Each structure stands twice: as C-alpha cells, then as structure tokens.
Amino acid sequence: MAKAKTVYSCTECGGQTPKWQGQCPSCMAWNTLVESIVEPAGNQQNRYASLAQSAGLQKLADVEALEVARHPTGIQEFDRVLGGGLVPGGVVLIGGDPGIGKSTLLLQTLCHVGHARKAIYVSGEESAQQIAMRAKRLGLDAGPVELLAEISLEKILATLQQHKPEVAVIDSIQTLYSESLQSAPGSVAQVRECSAQLTRYAKQFDVTIILVGHVTKEGALAGPRVLEHIVDTVLYFEGDQNSSFRLVRAFKNRFGAVNELGVFAMTEKGLREVSNPSALFLSHHAEQVSGSCITVTQEGTRPLLVEVQALVDEAHAPNPKRLCVGLEQNRLAMLLAVLHRHAGVACFDQDVFINAVGGVRISEPAVDLAVLLAIVSSLKNKPLDNKLIVFGEVGLAGEVRPVQRGQERLREAAKLGFKQAIVPKSNLPKQAIEGLTVQGVERLEQALTLLRNG
C-alpha cells in the first residue's frame, strides 16, 4: 500500500512546505508547521466532479435583483454610517482604540434592536456581570438582550444555531479560538478561521453579525488583511481621549456609501448622538480674528463646516517650519508655491502652521482655497468676515476648480447663518439661496482681490 503524501502547513499564515522546518519560510514564525495529509489527485478529481454537479450555476440574467431590506438600529448616526441600518446576513467589523466606546455603542444598539428582534451579545473579554453592571450604569433597558461569555468558536456557533438570533455581537474577534487549530487566540490563523466561520454562518442563516476588532499601534485593524476583505462593512471608531466627542467612519460598505461619518458625544449615560456636528468644528470668537477661515468639507453624503486656522510668523531658523494638523503636509508646500507664483505672496521666510479645528481630518482638496485665504489673512493680519464661507480646489496653474456637491455645501452654510460665500465659478447656484450672497472665482488672484475689496 502506497504511503500517503504529507505536507507541512503553517498555523500562522497557512503557508505550506514539503519538509518540516523549525521556522516557517513564508512568515518566519517558529514551531508553527503542522503535518497534514494531501488528498491524492484522483480523489480530488472525483470530489471536484461531485461538487460541480451540486453547485447551483445559473445565468446572471435569471437572477432576480431584490432590494436589500434594512433594520434600523434606533441610533440615527449609526444607521447613517451603516447605510440605513442592519442588513440580514451582513457582517460588520468595527475597530478602534481600547476604551474608545465600541462596546458601549454596540450594547446601546442591541438594547434598541432587542425589542424588535432577537439579539445575542457574545463577550470574550468581559464577564456577564461586568456587562450587566455597564448596562445598569448607562440606564439601558437590557431585558431582551441575551448574553454569552465564551471564546470557543464551536460553542458560540452551537449556541447561535440553537437560539437562532437575528443580530449577534462578537466582542472581540481576537479573543476567539477554534479547536481545529493549535495556535493561540489572536493569531493570524485563528482570526482568519473564526471570522470565516462566522461569516459563513451569517450568510447561510441571514443573521447580522457585528465583530469588534482590536487595532495596532499604527491604528490599523489587528490580524490578517483578509479579515477586512471577508466582512461586508468596515467601521473605525475614532476620538481623542481628552475629548468627549467620538467619530465613526465607514471605510468599506457593500450596502451603502463609504466615507460616511457618524458623530457621538461620550456622556455618563453612554454615547449620545450629535445632531449638528458642524458646531463641533467651529470656534466661537468674541470678535473677528486673523488667520481663520470657514470651509465646507464633505464626509460621505454629509456636508460639515470646519474652521481652518493659519498662523504665519517670521522664521527664526534657516529652514522655515511647515506644520499641518488635520490636513496633508505635502499639499501645504504645494499651495504655498502656488500662492507665491500666481499671487505674489511670498512665505519663504515665514513659519506656517495650519490647524483644522476640532481634531477632524480633511483629505479632500476642496479646502485649498480656504487654507490659502487663511494664510493671507494671518500674514497681512487682516481678519476675514466671520459670516464668510470658502471652498474650492486650487490647481498648480492658479485656477480654482469646482468641487462635488457644491449646492449641498452652500445650502448647509446658509442653514447655519452664513451670509457670504466665495466658491469656484462652476459651483455658482442656478437659483439664488436665500440669505447667502455667492461670488464665483476662476483664479486665485480673483479671490484675493475680493478679500482686499471687502
């Protein structure tokens, strides 16, 4: 009888090698190679043939496209980020720093959802008593929510199949382990296997599963990158430990728009929704100050008003400083070159500091014009009108380019009481907006002329 062919597989990365080694040649981990039997090619062909017969191959034109049903969570800001609510069979991954409020948000969500749908909270980090104490401290009606303190994947899946919940929270995926693998919980192989098994269960039984993920020192989700590819939605919970405000961003969403933003405030009674997030990012000065300009940035489908502050001061070192907080550093250097070349305003002997108020991060180029006007305001020590709104992308040739959703940005500014706006000429509204005077510019020089005349 022929000897069965064996191969050695790494329990950390899944790499294979024909001979045993102390160190995996793929991920360089030690003592992770485990012997396994390779199925003969003939058996594989027979197995593939039987699987192909049972596979449900069908034409795309014959598939009925149905609208995906959504179940509201009872928290509007969370629904906005999710794309309208929870989707049956959807898998959501939410990550964030320790203590940022992930478990609090999900416990509040389950207490709302549990009144209409069966919900289970699976905790691998806290005991049932700790979760009950948190719910009591937050004043939540947690009666309908069922708890399970367990880290064994097999026991969790058995419990889910027995009780058949519609929504399940797994806190956290890094604490689970599968008995089929010998590696420790939190390893690459365990996270990948547990997330794949839970995703398969969610798709098979139309159960919404929310996974909580840890983050690394760099702020990325811990574990294999495939974890973000397996799930349907990836959310990041952000916030400064010194601030009570929390931001939830969607970086991937198969059922909605990405880059959506939800804003919360951490209180003694848990996370509270912020109905007017623009107020967070605007300073309330008693009088007009130089170096401050209000702009409108777009976070998904939501326009947000943000104050951009600039400080230009004489440099006392051979190399002037260029520092950005909340904006891209390299783009500031480019904008300063455009300002010098096309507007004749030189800052080569000045330190330039840019700050986006409220800790918000701005990545879109629509704030270019506001940054430049704030720099000129600080350099000339001439305050801008505190009822002025500015947005527009500035090109290397000094032109002011239009931005997306310009009409929505203007309407949001008018709703908050702004009276004047300087925008790209292509973003001029076709119909007048009540209470808002809009001036369009095509070049940077025109915007600076409006400031001098104003």
Q: 69, 63 in Cβ contact below 8 A?
A: no
Residue 261, beta-bridge partner list: 249
Query: Is residue 101 marked as binding?
Result: yes
Cα–Cα distances in Å, from 49 out to 37, 42, 44, 271?
Answer: 21, 11, 9, 54
Cα–Cα distances in Å, from 347 out to 271, 354, 446, 451?
Answer: 44, 14, 20, 19
Among all chains, which residue has been given the structure tokens 């600076």?
448
Up-side HSE of residue 6: CA atoms within 13 Å toward CB? 8
SS3 content of the chain, % helix, strand, coil (to 5): 30, 25, 40
- DSSP 8-state symbol, 277: G
Q: What is the dihedral of CA 277, 327, 225, 191, to 10 degrees?
A: -50
Query: Is residue 40 marked as binding?
Result: no
Query: Is residue 99 marked as binding?
Result: yes
Whole-number CA gyration radius for the chain = 27
Query: Is residue 37 marked as binding?
Result: no
Could you give the CA distance from residue 36 to residue 16 in angstroms, rounded to a whole number? 10
Q: 253, 56 in Cβ contact below 8 A?
A: no
Helices (H), 381-443: 406-415
Could you give the CA distance from residue 197 to residue 385 in angstroms, rounded to a whole number? 58
Residue 35 three-state SS? strand
Could you give the CA distance from residue 155 to residue 150 in angstroms, rounded to a whole number? 8
Query: Is residue 97 marked as binding?
Result: yes
Task: Please report, in range form, the residues annotated as the binding site for ATP.
Answer: 96-103
Task: Please report, in range form, the residues annotated as the binding site.
Answer: 96-103
